[in-house]
Structure 1
Amino acid sequence: GGALLAPPTGNVDPTLAYWTHSGNIVFMVLLGGFSSFLGPLLGAFVFIFLQDTVMSVFPYWRLIFGAVLALLVLFAPGGLMGLFARRRPVEVSRA
């Protein structure tokens, strides 16, 4: 995290190495799904959107994210991309 943030900001803060930053990245990957390249990208977009909206309303936003993560692991282990893949009809090839 810090090496990519140093050029635009001009400094690196030790708080960037805190475990929650790594946890955010893991959450993004789990949210989007890790079976495709687009899964983590989708997870990052949804994570940032949820973080911005929930953080402005609820100060304990990490509690909400923990509940979302628990529900995700239980009901959508493939992430959001896994849900999309499951809803898409399977094409049968005629060989």
Structure 2
Amino acid sequence: MCLKHVPPVTLPATAEQCWMRGCSSQRPSTQDRPEEASAPAPPPSAVLEAAGVQICAWEGCNSPARPNSKYCSRKCSNKNARKRFRARKREQAA
């Protein structure tokens, strides 16, 4: 809305003017707004495997793994650890 002020969460997205007192900034019309750039599609895992690159072991990730690791990042490693922990906890409860 306004590049000078951060709008509060309670302000509706349809508001036309800045919520700060004394600010004359206005939202551009929908025709004048630039379109959001879409993120490029990740490369298919088959192409990476054909190139000899190991794919991340997390089931939802197609990124190449880091050297000496089966995961692309610490985030994927932690996701897998949490999943295994929950599965083990369910098995013990049953």
TM-score, scaled relative to structure 2: 0.25
Q: Greater Rg, structure 1 or structure 2?
A: 2
**Structure with a larger share of its residues in helix:** 1
TM-score, scaled relative to structure 1: 0.25
Q: Higher relative contact order at CA 8 Å, sep ≥6: structure 1 or structure 2?
A: 1
